[in-house]
Structure formats: C-alpha cells, structure tokens
Amino acid sequence: MRDFWAPNKSYNFLRCYIDWCTRRSFTSIETHGTLPPMDDGAWFIVSNHTHTLMDALVILQMRREGTAFGARADVFRNPVAARFLHFCKIVPLARKDRERPEEVAHNRETMGVIDQVVAHGVPFCLFPEGRHRPMHSLLPLRRGIAMMAFRSAAQRPTKILPIGLEYSSWFHFRGRASVNIGEPLDVNAFAASLEPGIDDNSRDAALQEELFKRLSSLILYIPDDEHYDERLAEIKAQNPPCSRFWRILLTVVTFPLFLIAAVLALPMWAIAEFMCKFKIKDTAWNNTVRFGVKMVGTPVFFLLWAIIGFILLPWWGALLLLAAFLPSYSLFYDWLNLLWDRT
C-alpha cells in the first residue's frame, strides 16, 4: 500500500490529464473559501454526495498533491478495476446493507490502510452519507468518518475539512460547479470538549452531528421532507433564466460551430448518449459516463483524426482539424444546453 503516499510519476502524469478532462466537463468550477495547506498532522475531507464520480473528480483537481478516496466495495470485484482504483489512491469501503459479508470484513484492513495514508500526509476524502443522491439535502452521516477521525486523533493531530458541492445540473453535461470550503474541524480539540467518560457511540454521534451542521451550511440545504419540491420551485423562481430572445439569437448564430463540433465529436457523443439511454439505469451517472467517454475517447479519436488529416490535408490543415477537434465534445454539449436553457 506504499503507493498511496509515495511519489508516483505515472500517477502525476495521469492526474494532469484527468484534471484537464474534469475542467472541460464543466463550463466553470468556482471555489469559495481557502484550501488549507494540509501539511500539519492528519487530514480528512468530507463532502456531500450528489453527482457520483464527478464529486470526487472536482475535489481531486483542487490539490496538485495526491488525495486518497474511499469508494463502494463492489466496484473492486473486478481484479483489473481493483488494480486501477488502487493506482488512483482509492480504497474499498463496504456497507453491511449493500456489500457481501467478506467485503464488510475487509473493512478492518482498509481502516489500517487509511490510518497509514493520513499518517504519511495524504488527506483522505470520503462521502459520509454513504451513497449519492441528486438533491439539495443531506442523508444522515454514517459512523465511519467519526471512527476514522478519532482513531487518528488518538495518535496525532487530526483535522476534518468539510466541503459543500453544488451543481447547476446533475443530469446535463457541461454545467457549472461550485466548491464551498468550510472551516477545518480540529478533532483533537473536539474530543477534549466532550464530557469525560463519554462512550464511543455518543462520541461518534456528536461528531456526526457537528459535521452534518457544517456540511448543510455549505450547500443549498432544503430539508428532505414533503415540502421539498415546493421549496425548490420557489428558489428556482427567484433566479429566472436568461432572455429567451438572446438565447435563441445566440443559438442561431453559433449553429455552424455546433455543426462542426457535432461532426468531429460524433463517435464520442454518440457512444456516450447511447450508454446513457440504454445502459445506465441511474441517470445520476450520466455525466460520469460522458466524462469517461471524453477521457478515453479524446486520445483515441485525436489519433484517428490526425491520421485522416495528415493523409488528406496539407500539414497546416491537419493541425487546424486537430485544434478544432479538441474542444468539439464540450462545444457540442454547450450548444445543446444553450438551446434548451439547461444551465
């Protein structure tokens, strides 16, 4: 497990490309607040979880240094996938109500790995709700984060950084993302503030409650009750969309660019939309699929267009073709979002 904290040139090279793909998956990623240096003691990062893998990717690109993550254990069942996930500094975390008993039993070993990761100065990020849900609310936080944090605090100074993630859309590619960084929570100081002799269950529940308060203050928090839809509609009504006239005019003017982008990126967006429509049951995963197609498809089809371009066109024409191809996948979705006023 040394790779989780040791310098790795292959990981750093892949990180540059993944961060580029992440940034190109959104029209903007705005950060509010200051990210602490995280070079003193152990650090955990916690966040709300609404946008499947995109949540981790947005958090990952915030730091040039490595960040380790926890993910659901069932995605590690494929040996090839497991090796790649470990390479990406991701460890399996199993839930009793979701994974196999042997995967749950493996949590003990995973906790030891996480403890070693933070001890070596690599922050560990997890989503304590335990599953994603595209809503402006929070599920009850699971106990795992408290157990990890107090275990670490017994050995070294430990802090938890809460982060609230917001998106203009969970279902349409190339929306806007907002990262709201909260104040770090000093776990050692928090433990010292509790009543002497408090039992572990009460201690963990107190930390979960405090983190819930902090996370809910960093997002558009609407209590998950029977009035959720009405409250969300009221908030949306306060932010009317842009003028329909200007939107339609801009759509018409930019149609030639859209047509070029659609042709150049046709194999990629066709594959992505086919998978989203016929292969993915949970639509919250659609943008993760589109990101994955961009990540894998960009170098493949860049090479293909390069071969075609340099065979059929002069060298300068081939370079123009490749320059047009690189933003084409994103421009295709930008035009669709403009047409339907999705973002």
Q: Give yes or no for residue 343 having a pLDDT over 70.
A: no
pLDDT, tens digit, 9 for 90 and up, residues 56-101? 999 999 988 889 999 888 888 888 888 888 888 899 988 887 788 8
Pairing between β-strand 185-186 and β-strand 158-167 as defined by DSSP bridges: antiparallel
Contact, 16 vs 60, CB < 8 A? Answer: no
* β-strands 42-47, 90-93 pairing: unpaired
CA triple 289-294-299, angle to 5 deg:
145
Q: Which residues contact 286 (CB under 8 A, 6 or more apart)?
A: 171, 173, 276, 280
Q: Among the CATH numbers 3.30.465.10, 3.20.20.210, 3.40.1130.10, 3.30.70.980, which is that of 2-217?
A: 3.40.1130.10
Residue 2 has pLDDT above 70, yes or no: no
| pLDDT at residue 238, rounded to an integer | 82
Q: How high is the pLDDT of residue 1?
A: 47
| Angle of CA points 314, 317, 320, to nearest 5° | 155
47: alpha, beta or left? (left if phi > 0; alpha if psi -120 to 50):
beta
Digit-coded pLDDT (tens) for 206-265: 999 999 999 999 999 999 888 999 999 888 888 776 678 888 899 999 999 999 999 999
Residue 5 clears pLDDT 80, i.e. is over it: no
* pLDDT digits 0-9 by tens, 91-131: 998 888 778 888 888 888 889 889 999 999 999 999 999 99
Predicted confidence (pLDDT) per residue in 14-48, tens digit: 999 999 999 999 999 999 999 999 988 999 999 99
Lowest mean pLDDT among 154-158, 217-221, 304-308, 336-340: 336-340
pLDDT category of residue 341 using cuts at 50, 70 and 90 = confident
Please give the pLDDT value at position 3.
64
C-beta separation of 137 from 130 below 8 A: no
Q: Where are the domains of the chain?
A: 2-217, 244-340
Fill in the amino acid letter for 10: S
Residue 286's pLDDT band, with cuts at 50, 70 and 90, is very high
